[in-house]
Structure formats: structure tokens, C-alpha cells
Amino acid sequence: MDCFQTICCLKGSLGHQFLLFIVWLSSFQVAVALQTLLEPSHVSSTSELATPPNFGIFGPIEISPAILPRNPYPDESLAPMYPTFPTTYKPNLTGKCPVNFTALSNIIDKTASDCSQPLAALVGNVICCPQLGSLLHIFQGYYSVNSDKLVLQNAVADDCFSDIISILASRGANKTIPTLCSVKSLNLTGGLCPVKDVVNFEKIVNTSKLLEACSTVDPLKECCRPICQSAITEAALEMSRTQLTTNDNEELVTEHNRNDPLSDCKGVVYSYLSRKLSADAANAAFRTVSACKVNKVCPLNFTRPLEVIKACRNVAAPSPSCCSSLNTYMAGIQNQMLITNKQAIICATVLGSKLRQGGVMTNVYELCDIDLKDFSIQAYRQQGCLLRSLPPDVILDNSTGFSFTCDLNDNIAAPWPSSSSISTLSLCAPEMSLPALPTSQIKNPGNRGGELELLVPIFSFFIFSALLY
Ligand SMILES: *[C@@H]1O[C@H](CO)[C@@H](O)[C@H](O)[C@H]1NC(C)=O
Ligand SMILES: *[C@@H]1O[C@H](CO)[C@@H](O)[C@H](O)[C@H]1NC(C)=O
Ligand SMILES: *[C@@H]1O[C@H](CO)[C@@H](O)[C@H](O)[C@H]1NC(C)=O
Ligand SMILES: *[C@@H]1O[C@H](CO)[C@@H](O)[C@H](O)[C@H]1NC(C)=O
Ligand SMILES: *[C@@H]1O[C@H](CO)[C@@H](O)[C@H](O)[C@H]1NC(C)=O
Ligand SMILES: *[C@@H]1O[C@H](CO)[C@@H](O)[C@H](O)[C@H]1NC(C)=O
Ligand SMILES: *[C@@H]1O[C@H](CO)[C@@H](O)[C@H](O)[C@H]1NC(C)=O
């Protein structure tokens, strides 16, 4: 089964019942490589080919998934298998969070599918946690909309936080997301930020400037020329400074230094923004801002590549043992999680510098044909899936299950660092010269000179469950 990805068995809590979750990674929607594009007969009939291929760079297209679920064990007589869509149920609420969640239903559904049970850990860093954070900010703004407060009291924050997680779980989200995403009820309380109400907030912060900067955030510019992020930081700084000038209590000051009031105040700024912006505008702004943060770091866990160093040191020409060792190492990385194209560039550089530090001076990526997409989860041996730098939400379709869109901008060689230090890496400086950066939406859509449209594989995850004895 070439599209088979992982099986994990979860021991059920009831007696000897087991739940078998099989996550399918299938891209029935053919991911067309360059050669295939030149042979149109191989393109599946459901594919869309926007423009005839030219040459050069790859551009993204979104296509809808067309997928057939199949039984992974046709010869085994397991209990009936069927695609499971999130089983929704009525959540068990505390009854102590005085909020009508109906108004937040859309954003809660979006978050639940972004953090859906089997996918949460795979997309946690790039999709689920950013969306969960955004939901918490929006909840905070919504909670306080009829009062002067911008934050929740500690006790009610616990109840509301627990209700939010229960509701998300009741709509298919993984219950472990607070741990996965390092969020807790304190995220709703404003922590040690000294400003927690609207009157003082508006006294201290230039709110027209803040709202102007954050009401629409340009995803293509924000990460390199931050406007909303700067406005948020500036507002949070002004608020946290208020504490230090109006309160000379030394003990408090040390406590604040330890606990990062700036970060707490940023939470209050988000709450204010949520109050003033529509849920959709706020969500879009928060997701863009968090994507900027996410794209600065490679989230993969690289163990020390000792074997690779041993096999590849002093290698100058293609060497089977070096490449096989590198491929083995890469296969381990590929199981970890989905990452964005920008993260892949950083990851390639991080691994490259580890190798250089170990004395591997030749560009082994080139030698062994390692592409950027090799740093992400693979559907077939050669088809990596990198997300766009602004990762779109997970799509939940009630006939096909979960899917998400990959970006094939990434079909380029992994960059080999020019030194063993990664401190010089900037994805902004020569902004447009990085081939894997997203193409501008602002660009005239008719102007596709030099670009090759590729079909984007949609990796669809099918979840089947079966009860075994
Ligand atoms: C709901 O939660 C409360 C407290 O955790 C528990 O006592 C109660 O049995 C639960 N109700 C259901 C239907 O699960
Ligand atoms: C919650 O709000 C919705 C409309 O936004 C309303 O239809 C519903 O009755 C409210 N529920 C409660 C318990 O107030
Ligand atoms: C929920 O996520 C955790 C990781 O945070 C994972 O270990 C677990 O398997 C997931 N649960 C399901 C049912 O997929
Ligand atoms: C939650 O709080 C922690 C600790 O204060 C902070 O680091 C994190 O960024 C917060 N998360 C969100 C989504 O606000
Ligand atoms: C707020 O910021 C705007 C620029 O965005 C500026 O024109 C205005 O004077 C500022 N207001 C105050 C009170 O500083
Ligand atoms: C990284 O992977 C190693 C080995 O698989 C594991 O022991 C370690 O805990 C991981 N670190 C993190 C931060 O996940
Ligand atoms: C799928 O969703 C559509 C509308 O969103 C609905 O009409 C249809 O009944 C749903 N089908 C199933 C099997 O849930």
C-alpha cells in the first residue's frame, strides 16, 4: 500500500476495546511532476491545468480533492471499517462560564478541524496551535465585549478554558491540544499585565494607530516589514512600562521580570483587537502574525547526524554510502510533522550546518538529490508536502474527510549553508530571490511569464476506525 502512512492503536478505556485509527496519506489527485506535465495523457481527468507549462519556477494551484477510500486490509476480516469524520457529541460544560458560545461557532468549528484528533500533532506547529491561539484571543475579546474588562478573572478563566477545550473536543479536536500548544487558562487572564480594562488601555495606547495597523494585515509584507506586529509590541511595551513607573514595589518588579509582562500585555492587546474587529478579520490578522513567528524557526527535532557525518566526511563525488546514510536520516525527519516552505529552508540550513560542523564540507544535498520537500512528510517516496508560508486551514469535507493544501513551490534543491553558522540566515533580505517564497497575490494574475503551473497534491487523510476484540 503505497499510500499507507501510519497506524496507531489506541487502547480504549472500555474493557478490551481497541480503536484502530488508520491515517491515510493519499494523493489520488495526481501530484504532477515536471515530466508528467509534459505528457498530458498521464494527467488525471479530474486535474486542472490552468495554463500550459512554460519553464522555470513552480506556482501554486489549489484543486479540490477527489478521493476514493479503500480498505487497507482487503484480505483481513476486521470489523467493518468506515471513514470516521469527527464524531460530534454534546459537550459536558462546567456551567460556570457565562458565555453563549453560539456566536463563536464558526471559529470554533474551524479550530476543531484544524486540531482534529489524528492530525493535531502533525499540524500543531503550523496550523492547529496558531488557530487555537487565535480562538483564545477572540474568545477573550468576545467575553469582555459588554464590559470594561479586557481579561477574565482567574476562576472564570479556568471554567471557560475548560469549556472551550470540551467544546473543541466534542467537535473532533484532540483533547491534548492545551499541552501540544502550551496554552492554559492563564492565557485568558492577562497575567501580570498592569492594564486590563478598556479605559486605561485607551488612555495608554494610541488605539487608532493600532487598529489601522491590524485591521487588515498584508500576509506578503507583514513578516518582513511588520506593521501589525510592531503596533502590538509597541502597545504592549507602553502598557508594561506603565507598571514599572507607577509601581515602585521592588518585589513586583522582580516578579515581572521573571514572568515576562510584555508577553502578558500582548495578550491584552489581542483581546482589545478582538473586541474591535470582526471575528474573521481578527482571525485573519492573528493567523498572519503567528505565521510570521512560525516561519522563523525550524520545528523539526534533529538528532545529531553522527552516521551521516561519518559516511559523508571527505566525500566529494556521489557516494552510495553517504547518500544512503543521509536518506535514512531524512526518512526519520520526514515522519515528524508538516512544515511550511520557509521552515523547510531553515531546516535545510540547520541540518546543513550541523553536517558542516561535523566536517562535511561538500554540498551533500546536491550530491544526494535532497530537495526542500524532502524535509516534510511524504505521501509517496518522492512527493513531499510543504505548506505555504501562510498555511491554510485544514479542510473538512463531509464526503472525503480531512485534507489540506500543499504547495509545490518547493520543488527545488535544499540550500546548503555557506558556513557552519546559521545566524546569518534571513528570509527577508533578498526577499524575491528565494525561489521557494510564495508568489505575490498582488502580482497581476495574467502575468505568469516564466512560471510553471503545477498541480498541487492534496494530501487527504482518511481516518478509518474499527472496533477490535
Ligand atoms: C460532566 O462533568 C461533571 C464534572 O466533571 C461530571 O460530574 C458529570 O458526570 C459529567 N456528565 C456527563 C454526562 O459526562
Ligand atoms: C445564544 O445565542 C444565539 C444567537 O446568537 C441564540 O439563538 C441562542 O438562543 C442563545 N442561547 C442562549 C442559551 O442564550
Ligand atoms: C492526540 O494528540 C496526541 C499528541 O498531542 C497524540 O499522541 C494522540 O495520538 C492524538 N489522539 C488521537 C486520537 O489521535
Ligand atoms: C500563553 O501564555 C504563555 C505564557 O505566558 C505565552 O508564552 C504564550 O504565547 C501564550 N499563548 C497565547 C496563544 O497567547
Ligand atoms: C496616533 O497615531 C497616529 C498615526 O497613526 C498619529 O497621527 C496620532 O497623532 C497619534 N495620536 C496620539 C494621541 O499620539
Ligand atoms: C528529539 O528526538 C529525540 C530522539 O528521538 C528524543 O529523545 C527527544 O526527546 C526529542 N526532543 C524533542 C524536543 O522533541
Ligand atoms: C454533507 O454536507 C452537506 C452540506 O454541508 C449536507 O447537506 C449533507 O447532508 C452532508 N452529508 C453527510 C453525509 O453528512
Nearest CA to ligand 6 atom 13: 301
Ligand closest to Cα of 121 equals 3
Nearest CA to ligand 2 atom 5: 103
pLDDT greater at residue 47 or residue 391 = 391
- Does the beta carbon of 121 sit less than 6 angstroms from any atom of ligand 3? yes
- Does the beta carbon of 267 sit less than 6 angstroms from any atom of ligand 4? yes
Quick check: 154 pLDDT over 80?
yes
User: Which ligand 6 atom sits nearest the alpha carbon of residue 332?
Assistant: 5
Confidence of residue 300 (pLDDT cuts 50, 70, 90): very high
Least confident of 12-21, 82-91, 263-272: 12-21
Confidence of residue 131 (pLDDT cuts 50, 70, 90): very high
- Does the beta carbon of 335 sit less than 6 angstroms from any atom of ligand 6? no
- pTM for the complete prediction? 0.76
Nearest CA to ligand 4 atom 8: 183
Nearest CA to ligand 4 atom 2: 187
- What digits encode the pLDDT tens for the residues 301-329? 999 999 999 999 988 888 899 999 999 99
Confidence of residue 409 (pLDDT cuts 50, 70, 90): low
- What digits encode the pLDDT tens for the residues 371-388? 898 998 876 555 778 888
User: What mean pLDDT is reported for the chain?
Assistant: 72
Tell me the C-alpha distance between 397 and 177, whole Å.
Answer: 22
User: Which ligand 5 atom sits nearest the alpha carbon of residue 213?
Assistant: 5
Distance between Cα 321 and ligand 1 center (Å): 58
Quick check: 93 pLDDT over 90?
yes
Counting residues of the chain whose pLDDT is more than 70, the rounded percentage is: 66
Q: What pLDDT is attached to residue 242?
A: 82
Distance between Cα 208 and ligand 5 center (Å): 7
Distance between Cα 270 and ligand 1 center (Å): 33
Interior/surface letters 233-247, b for 16+ CB within 10 angstroms, e for the rest: ebbbebbbebbeeee
- Does the beta carbon of 118 sit less than 6 angstroms from any atom of ligand 3? yes
Q: What pLDDT is attached to residue 401?
A: 73
Ligand closest to Cα of 82 equals 7
Confidence of residue 405 (pLDDT cuts 50, 70, 90): confident
Strands 458-461 and 18-24, sheet pairing: unpaired
User: Which are the contacts of 302, defined by CB distance < 8 A and separation ≥ 6?
Assistant: 333, 347, 350, 351, 354
- Does the beta carbon of 301 sit less than 6 angstroms from any atom of ligand 6? yes
Tell me the C-alpha distance between 129 and 66, whole Å.
Answer: 28
Quick check: 184 pLDDT over 50?
yes
Task: State the average pLDDT over residues 104-125.
Answer: 92
Query: Which protein residues are within 6 Å of ligand 2, measured from CB?
Result: 100, 102-103
Q: What pLDDT is attached to residue 10?
A: 26
- What digits encode the pLDDT tens for the residues 417-449? 887 776 556 667 544 444 444 433 323 333 222
Task: State the average pLDDT over residues 355-379.
Answer: 90
pLDDT greater at residue 177 or residue 9 = 177
- What digits encode the pLDDT tens for the residues 271-294? 999 999 999 999 999 999 999 999
Phi, psi of 101 (to 5 degrees): -75, -10
Intra-chain end-to-end CA distance of the chain, in Å: 25
Quick check: 333 pLDDT over 60?
yes
Confidence of residue 468 (pLDDT cuts 50, 70, 90): very low
Residue 311 has, within 13 A of its CA and on its CB side, a CA count of: 19
**Chain CA centroid to CA 249, Å:** 41
Task: State the average pLDDT over residues 406-422.
Answer: 76
Ligand closest to Cα of 106 equals 2
Query: Which protein residues are within 6 Å of ligand 5, measured from CB?
Result: 206, 208-209, 212
Q: What pLDDT is attached to residue 298?
A: 94
User: Which ligand 3 atom sits nearest the alpha carbon of residue 118?
Assistant: 14
User: Which are the contacts of 69, defined by CB distance < 8 A and separation ≥ 6?
Assistant: 24, 83, 401, 462, 464
Distance between Cα 43 and ligand 4 center (Å): 46
- What digits encode the pLDDT tens for the residues 32-58? 222 222 223 232 333 333 332 222 222
Distance between Cα 175 and ligand 2 center (Å): 26
Task: State the average pLDDT over residues 182-210.
Answer: 95
Nearest CA to ligand 6 atom 10: 301
Distance between Cα 151 and ligand 3 center (Å): 30
- What digits encode the pLDDT tens for the residues 392-403? 888 877 776 777
Probe ligand 4: pick from 131, 135, 183, 259, max atoms within 8 Å of CB? 183
User: Which ligand 3 atom sits nearest the alpha carbon of residue 120?
Assistant: 2
Q: What pLDDT is attached to residue 193?
A: 93
Q: What pLDDT is attached to residue 259?
A: 67
Quick check: 110 pLDDT over 90?
yes
Tell me the C-alpha distance between 140 and 273, whole Å.
Answer: 10
